[in-house]
Structure 1
Amino acid sequence: MKTRYSFGGDEHVYVEVDEEMSLEAFFVALSLRNAVAEANIPGVTEICPANASFEVRFNPDVISPDEMMARIKELEHKAEAGEKRLDTRIVEVPVYFQDPWTHETLMRFRERHQDPEATDLEYAARINGYDSVEAFIEAYHSQPWFVSMVGFVAGLPFLYQLVEREKQIEVPKYLRPRTDTPKHTVGIGGCFGCIYSVRGAGGYQMFGITPMTIFDPTQTVSYLQDFMVFFKPGDIVKWKPIDRAEFDRIEAAVKDGTYTPRIAEVTFDLEAFNADMAGTNAKLMEALNGV
């Protein structure tokens, strides 16, 4: 990997480990980001991680941009030999696939889509070589996804499917973004899955919706009282298909404070995953059975 450094105005240094997202690039970026944090470089005010990169914000009255970049580059050797194990958690996220709300929305914006005659799921299934929407949904939820970053919109997770590269689901974004997307829409753009944390514009293909709140600035949702954003980089997600009745039940439980997401503490080992992806995924998902 060849790390690229660049300035963002006079208060930011952008560090890109690789142009292409991979778990290897994520772990190198994470290690370097942690090394920068542990170095306590004077003037650093914030470090924002992304898929295979991160950005450092600093006070140029305390440290010059050139010196800031030089200090980060000095730490690069630590990242290359960094830890490839991550203590994290696997979270079960319920999803109502083929729901009426995303369907109504996608039908309003067909003129912006690659295939105006098909739904987002039908299009995604076809271009990924699946014989039916049901087979595509099965492939989408049967293996876990890795949260590689959170942001762009507050609380929105970007998810990378934990399968061999040739098996990864990929679907291009809409030709032109929509001006509306239902809150909690589950979908994909490129190779990244996501959950829309708020209602708003968007271009990802829409497959379903979750009743599970993932962003609450009021911090009144029972499981978000400590922090308004649910996901963090390194989390692992297992989608769970549900029907309308289960959707309504969970949505009501979230509102009345009785819903608790299913979560298990796990360790993700990159070398073990690369050696046996199916076996590693099975162990990760088994951890949820005891919750």
Structure 2
Amino acid sequence: MTTTAVPPLPESARYSFGGDEFLLVEVAEAMSLAANVRVMSMARALQADRPDGITDICPANASLLLRFDPDVIAPQALTDRVQQVEESVKGAGDEPLQTRIIEVPVAYDDPITAEVAGRFRANHQAPEGTDLDYAAAVNNLPDKAAFIERHHGSAWLVSMVGFVAGLPFMFQLTDQQHQLEVPKYLSPRTDTPALTVGHGGCFACIYSVRGAGGYQMFGIAAAPIYDPEQRLADFADGMVLFRPGDLVRFRPVDTDEYQRIQAEVADGSYRYRQRAVSLDLSRALADPVGYNAELRELLDGA
């Protein structure tokens, strides 16, 4: 059992203005689960009791960006209000975060991303192998099968959504010592398939649309995470599936199940498996193996 404590955060955030409409609140310089939970707690508190004049609330990995109308709320008044919120959530990490866990079926080591990776080996640190082979080697794992097991063996926290529409950045729900880390490509690709499950540094992501990218490619998700037409029931409330604070559980699927899911997506009947959950960060870091097992059992009971 790991006994890693929640890492301490700076005594107070750093506040700075961007032009006359933006306030940036930097909770910490380095990304951590504790920093991200505090950011999300602040964002949710401001959303629940939004001061007049705030037009947008954008939580990120370790910071919070607020857009405001200076004709409605003065910059100092906004700063004072946000500092009050910061003080009120400083126990975040000790109190459970009410969120949800979503299961994402993934075809690991698939032919679609393999073909694209083959076209860009000159951009890669280890052109003689595959992205999965490289990821296993830099994490001191015996082979790609062991890496895939580690990748889907724990849940991932959606720390922010953006860069392109609906793309989630995800941080592994485990202590820092056991985080999977993989450098990005030496230079970006000009092509990445939509729904590629990628990894850069300590962050996992799912490419919501086809485009350029530099993250290592491990597989492809079987169902959309961005649905601008809102055809599927899981997108009834918006065209983007993930929200900051969501937990993601990757589940490996074979070719037959991948094709079955694709058929359900095509006829509009596909539904993601998901459950409401209270994220207890202190417990997750104290016993990541046991806590992730509990999350799996919770989702399997859905």
**Equivalent-residue separation in structure 2 for 1:94 and 1:132 (angstroms):** 22
> What is the identity, as a one-letter code, of the residue corresponding to 2:127?
P
Q: Would the aligned equivalents of 1:187 and 1:207 in 2 still touch at CA under 8 Å? A: yes
**Equivalent-residue separation in structure 1 for 2:280 and 2:165 (angstroms):** 28
The 1:254/1:34 distance shift into structure 2, 3 A limit, reads: same
**Equivalent-residue separation in structure 2 for 1:92 and 1:217 (angstroms):** 21
SS of equivalent to 1:34: helix
Q: Would the aligned equivalents of 2:21 and 2:68 in 1 still touch at CA under 8 Å? A: yes
**Equivalent-residue separation in structure 2 for 1:178 and 1:160 (angstroms):** 23
Match of 1:35? Answer: 45
Match of 1:152? Answer: 163
The one of 227, 247, 265 aligned to 1:254: 265
Correspondences of 1:16-95 after superposition (within 5 Å): 16-82=26-92, 84-95=95-106
Match of 1:187? Answer: 198
Match of 2:249? Answer: 238
> What is the identity, as a one-letter code, of the residue corresponding to 1:221?
L
> What is the identity, as a one-letter code, of the residue corresponding to 1:53?
S
**Equivalent-residue separation in structure 2 for 1:144 and 1:115 (angstroms):** 28
The one of 143, 168, 177 aligned to 1:166: 177
Q: Would the aligned equivalents of 1:215 and 1:230 in 2 still touch at CA under 8 Å? A: yes
> What is the identity, as a one-letter code, of the residue corresponding to 2:236?
Q
Higher relative contact order (CA 8 A, sep 6+): 2
Q: Does 1:114 align with 2:154?
A: no
> What is the identity, as a one-letter code, of the residue corresponding to 1:96?
A
Instruction: Give the TM-score of the pair, scaled to structure 1.
Output: 0.94
**Equivalent-residue separation in structure 2 for 1:67 and 1:89 (angstroms):** 34
Cα displacement (A) at 1:133: 0.8
**Equivalent-residue separation in structure 2 for 1:9 and 1:130 (angstroms):** 47
Correspondences of 1:118-157 after superposition (within 5 Å): 118-157=129-168
> What is the identity, as a one-letter code, of the residue corresponding to 2:79?
M
**Equivalent-residue separation in structure 1 for 2:127 and 2:156 (angstroms):** 29
**Equivalent-residue separation in structure 2 for 1:286 and 1:187 (angstroms):** 25
Match of 2:230? Answer: 219
Structure 2: runs of 5 or more not aligned: 1-8
Q: Would the aligned equivalents of 2:99 and 2:245 in 1 still touch at CA under 8 Å? A: yes
> What is the identity, as a one-letter code, of the residue corresponding to 1:103?
A
SS of equivalent to 1:75: helix
The 1:32/1:288 distance shift into structure 2, 3 A limit, reads: closer
The one of 244, 254, 276 aligned to 1:265: 276
Q: Would the aligned equivalents of 2:189 and 2:213 in 1 still touch at CA under 8 Å? A: yes
Cα displacement (A) at 1:39: 4.7
> What is the identity, as a one-letter code, of the residue corresponding to 2:35?
A
Structure 1: runs of 5 or more not aligned: none
Correspondences of 1:196-215 after superposition (within 5 Å): 196-215=207-226
**Equivalent-residue separation in structure 2 for 1:261 and 1:130 (angstroms):** 31
Instruction: Give the TM-score of the pair, scaled to structure 2.
Output: 0.91
SS of equivalent to 2:212: coil
> What is the identity, as a one-letter code, of the residue corresponding to 1:24?
A
> What is the identity, as a one-letter code, of the residue corresponding to 2:247?
I
SS of equivalent to 1:124: helix
**Equivalent-residue separation in structure 2 for 1:229 and 1:190 (angstroms):** 24
Cα displacement (A) at 1:71: 3.3
Q: Deviations over 1:250-278 (max 9, x none)?
A: 01111101211111222111222233222
Correspondences of 1:266-285 after superposition (within 5 Å): 266-285=277-296
Q: Would the aligned equivalents of 1:29 and 1:79 in 2 still touch at CA under 8 Å? A: no
**Equivalent-residue separation in structure 1 for 2:51 and 2:233 (angstroms):** 37
Match of 1:15? Answer: 25
**Equivalent-residue separation in structure 2 for 1:134 and 1:162 (angstroms):** 20
